[in-house]
């Protein structure tokens, strides 16, 4: 799960057209961070994106997450109303699991969402991987 930090303030101050352009640029930056054909990114709602990375372990996930943040930083999209940076940044929550009969897609999304909100509560422009201690 990927959430643009302080995006409401961005839209409120630069306008929704600038927000739409920023969303498109960020989606492209995320997509460029992925290397396998079966890895996808989609807008999840508002200023949130979800990326599905099959066959990716925690180490691989960390590599991709760092690349996503680097590619977005390289866009240098000005955000004077951000409380953490002069440019747009993202907070990320990651989760992985080995599929079992009792797992559901909702479970992995809920876990990634918990990790995302941990990143947001702890300063934003960060990434967190889900662990049981986040419950």
Query: Are 48 and 3 spatial neighbours (Cβ–Cβ below 8 Å)?
Result: yes
Catalytic annotation on 47? Answer: yes
Query: Are 88 and 10 spatial neighbours (Cβ–Cβ below 8 Å)?
Result: yes
Which of the following is catalytic: 47, 48, 76, 83? 47
Give the CA angle between residues 22, 49, 12 to the nearest 5°: 40
Radius of gyration of the chain (CA): 15
Catalytic residue set:
47
């Amino acid at each position: 799960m990927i959430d643009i930090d302080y995006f409401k303030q961005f839209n409120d101050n630069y306008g929704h057209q600038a927000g739409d352009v920023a969303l498109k640029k960020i989606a492209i930056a995320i997509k460029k961070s992925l290397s396998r054909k079966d890895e996808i990114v989609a807008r999840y709602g508002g200023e949130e994106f979800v990326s599905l990375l099959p066959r990716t372990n925690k180490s691989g996930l960390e590599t991709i997450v760092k690349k996503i943040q680097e590619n977005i930083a390289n866009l240098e999209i000005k955000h004077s109303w951000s409380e953490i940076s002069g440019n747009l940044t993202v907070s990320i929550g990651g989760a992985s699991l080995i599929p079992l009969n009792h797992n559901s897609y909702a479970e992995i999304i809920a876990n990634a969402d918990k990790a995302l909100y941990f990143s947001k509560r702890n300063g934003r422009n960060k990434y967190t991987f889900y662990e049981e201690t986040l419950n």
